[in-house]
Structure 1
Amino acid sequence: MSLSEGTAGQRRAYPFAASALWKGAKRWLYLFHRWTGIILCLFFVLWFLSGLVMLYVSFPSFRAQERLAMAPPIDWRQVHASPGRALARLGQRDFPAEMRLGMVGREPLYIFATPEGRRAVSARTGVELMSVDAPRAGAIASAMIDAPVVSIDPVDHDQWVITRSYKMMAPFWRVRLADAAATDLYVSQRTGEVVQNTTAHERFWNWLGAIPHWIYFEALRAFQGPWRQTVLWTSGIGMLGAIAGFWIGILRVRLKRRYRSGSVSPYGGWMKWHHIIGMVGGLFLISWVFSGWLSMSPWGGLRDQGHRDAASLYAGAQPDFPATDLSVLAKAATGVREVRFSWLGGDPVMTLWWGSGRARLLDGVTAQPRTLDRQRIFAMARHAMPDFALVAADRLDRPDRYWYSTGDPRDDSRPLPVWRLEFSDPARTWLHIDPATGALLGQTGAGGRSYRWLFNALHSMDFPWLLTWPPLRHILVWLLSGAGLLISVSGIVIGWRRLVRR
């Protein structure tokens, strides 16, 4: 055989080898899509339906805004222990992550967040609370809701207090009240503070919403690692199956040279519905599952790294709190629901909070009103980000693409106005600072800003132009979820028929 004949034979063999390889790849592509669909389409249906429920009923929480709205004004006649005395009672080496004064039941208490957990000191006696019994928990809950107690049960964790943040506050008393909403309040057995509340309405709808959506069942969610892996693998495999299905859809669709039936799809019945709607809504389904998968931070996700000490540098906190003139404080804080004690740029300060959410900053020693000009705020921010320059400063008076609220009453709102300060570090870190109180409200880098688009926008559809018109956002979510449901339901029917035939 001549050299030219051998070369020609190799040329003829290459197309056949490539064709065989492509046929084998397509076969595995079809098999992967088929069996991931059979296994996971039911999850997709549950995720889409539960997501629609979550659009209207979110998971229960008890945020600062709600705590303020429900708290009575501080009874200053009972406040005899100064903040410095209460803090000294704890014997802490560092200033606590949180220190506030408010009414717990009918007694003013200082509440502290320490590395060992939550602790409380009576503002009346200056003595630390070591435990709260059931009768006192019932009295605290009844005073907050103004309803008689139905039952009091000890709880270490249950469906509504299952995350790691609650483990630092456990155990609890779960107090059921005889109000119209059938409210359950969770009272800490350590401090007496209410840390969670749920109503019958929330409990019912969350079993159809957040619990199946997040695979948040208590038996699994109690174990952080296994729960996270379950969500990662189910959503991750589902995402790959959806990508495979969309690829198959592209391979099978004919827009110009149509099939003998005149259709762009070779299928009929449920298969045709699955194909056509998959082509229309497939990209949404893929992006939606991808964003849910991303929320579990695979391989570290898009978490901002570095500058974790920015908050402590900004505060410049000392381990103690100076002597405060309680008589002056009581006059300045008439009708106040809560006082928060902190440090700003090495200075002790107190922030007064009323039930409406209005706040005022006071000097930590004199209890006189204090204002922070922009130069002081910028100086504290520069101290929080050493070695990097402040390259931009914007005062936001209205929401924008990154500082906004979805309108969910259970979420902490992002106050306005706010300073946004940008630094020259590699992550282009932003610090958001409240100009009224000087509080550092947030720290965001390039990773956090990317996460805003790759998770929040893709998963919740909280694009700025949709937040301006909430009904339009809801309509779009319903339409896209409907497309996802049709894709998933048709996949279940097709998969069931396949299994029955086998």
Structure 2
Amino acid sequence: MHKWIALVVGLQVLFWVGGGLVMVAIPIETVRSEHRVAEAQPQPLALDGLPGLAEIAGRAGVVPVQVDLHGTPRGPAWTLKPASGEPVIVSAITGRPFAPMSADEVSAFAKRAYRGEAEVTGVAYLASAPEETGKTGPLWRVDFADGEKTAFYVSPSTGEVVSRRSGIWRLFDFFWRLHVMDWDDGEDFNHPLIIITTALTLSIVISGFILLWIRIARDIKSWRAVKRRARPD
């Protein structure tokens, strides 16, 4: 049973160890492309003359339960979160949604946020956010010609970089999915398959210790028998 169970789960154990090695060998800052983020000094918000929150919410037609005012590349913005549905982002100056951006504007915002000398190789508007971004709604994708194949995902409203992905991130994500045995989206690491496989792996370890103890006890017994026979009368 020890051998057969080991044969069944051995490949997954290899994935666990190999994937674990990859995940600890690559710094998480590199996976997140933090070294590709240009340093930017936060600028104080000019609050003078801005409409009040009640006026902003009225213009946007939103009854928010949570709000956030912050600076963006396109000026100050309110994020208004209603009780249900997606948050609404509006200009803190006008109270209206930001005007659409051109590809050139998106490219300029992304290059300003990028650290490095690589040029932009492509700008694309995506009607729905790719799964790898962990976001919803439309996004702009800006690709850079660096060795890591870095991609910045930019908000079509504010021009902010809301997600960063690269070939290193995708390699890490591949091994993470193997590691947690969730090949769909890598989000569920409490599903029955990994629990069963882990329990079987534990049984291999325990049975291996038991078999080792039996083998050692048998060898000791044989050694003692040989020693007694070799003892002179």
State the TM-score, normalized to the length of structure 2: 0.70
SS in 1 for 2:95: coil
Pick closer, same or farther for the CA change 1:487–1:359 going to 2, 3 Å.
Answer: closer
- Which residue is 2:180 aligned to? 460
The answer (yes or no) to whether the contact 2:6–2:201 under 8 Å persists in 1 is yes
Deviations 1:187-244 (A, max 9, x none): xxxxxxxxxxxxxxxxxxxxxxxxxxxxxxxxxxxxxxxxxxxxxxxxxxxxxxxxxx
- Structure 2 Cα separation of the partners of residues 401 and 331 of structure 1: 33
Q: Unaligned stretches of 5+ in structure 2?
A: 218-233
Shift of 1:398: 4.8
Q: How do 1:309-348 and structure 2 match up within 5 A?
A: 309=38, 312=40, 317-323=42-48, 324-326=50-52, 328-332=55-59, 334-345=62-73, 347-348=75-76
Pick closer, same or farther for the CA change 1:337–1:372 going to 2, 3 Å.
Answer: farther
- Structure 1 Cα separation of the partners of residues 88 and 208 of structure 2: 62
Shift of 1:299: 6.5
Number of aligned residues: 207
Pick closer, same or farther for the CA change 1:348–1:499 going to 2, 3 Å.
Answer: same
- Which residue is 1:431 aligned to? 152
Pick closer, same or farther for the CA change 1:462–1:399 going to 2, 3 Å.
Answer: farther
The answer (yes or no) to whether the contact 1:318–1:346 under 8 Å persists in 2 is no
The answer (yes or no) to whether the contact 2:6–2:204 under 8 Å persists in 1 is no
- Structure 2 Cα separation of the partners of residues 431 and 357 of structure 1: 26
Shift of 1:282: 0.8
Shift of 1:480: 5.9
- Structure 2 Cα separation of the partners of residues 277 and 484 of structure 1: 12
Letter in 1 for 2:181: M
Pick closer, same or farther for the CA change 1:398–1:329 going to 2, 3 Å.
Answer: closer
Shift of 1:285: 1.3
Q: Unaligned stretches of 5+ in structure 1?
A: 1-272, 404-412
The answer (yes or no) to whether the contact 2:45–2:71 under 8 Å persists in 1 is no
SS in 2 for 1:361: strand
The answer (yes or no) to whether the contact 2:123–2:142 under 8 Å persists in 1 is yes
SS in 2 for 1:344: coil
SS in 1 for 2:132: coil
Shift of 1:337: 1.8
- Structure 1 Cα separation of the partners of residues 147 and 174 of structure 2: 20
- Which residue is 2:113 aligned to? 384
- Which residue is 2:126 aligned to? 396
Deviations 1:153-189 (A, max 9, x none): xxxxxxxxxxxxxxxxxxxxxxxxxxxxxxxxxxxxx
- Structure 1 Cα separation of the partners of residues 57 and 34 of structure 2: 42
SS in 1 for 2:99: coil
Letter in 1 for 2:210: W
Pick closer, same or farther for the CA change 1:482–1:330 going to 2, 3 Å.
Answer: closer
How many percent identity over aligned positions?
20
The answer (yes or no) to whether the contact 1:392–1:423 under 8 Å persists in 2 is yes
Letter in 2 for 1:498: L
Pick closer, same or farther for the CA change 1:462–1:391 going to 2, 3 Å.
Answer: farther
Q: How do 1:4-23 and structure 2 match up within 5 A?
A: none
- Structure 1 Cα separation of the partners of residues 151 and 202 of structure 2: 40
The answer (yes or no) to whether the contact 2:73–2:158 under 8 Å persists in 1 is no
Tell me how large the CA RMSD over aligned residues is. 3.3
- Structure 1 Cα separation of the partners of residues 203 and 51 of structure 2: 67
- Structure 1 Cα separation of the partners of residues 146 and 132 of structure 2: 19
> Does residue 284 of structure 1 match 2:12?
yes
The answer (yes or no) to whether the contact 1:288–1:458 under 8 Å persists in 2 is yes
Letter in 2 for 1:275: K
Match of 2:36 among 307, 315, 330: 307
The answer (yes or no) to whether the contact 1:317–1:342 under 8 Å persists in 2 is no
Q: How do 1:86-101 and structure 2 match up within 5 A?
A: none
Shift of 1:399: 6.2
- Structure 2 Cα separation of the partners of residues 397 and 454 of structure 1: 28
- Structure 1 Cα separation of the partners of residues 97 and 34 of structure 2: 37
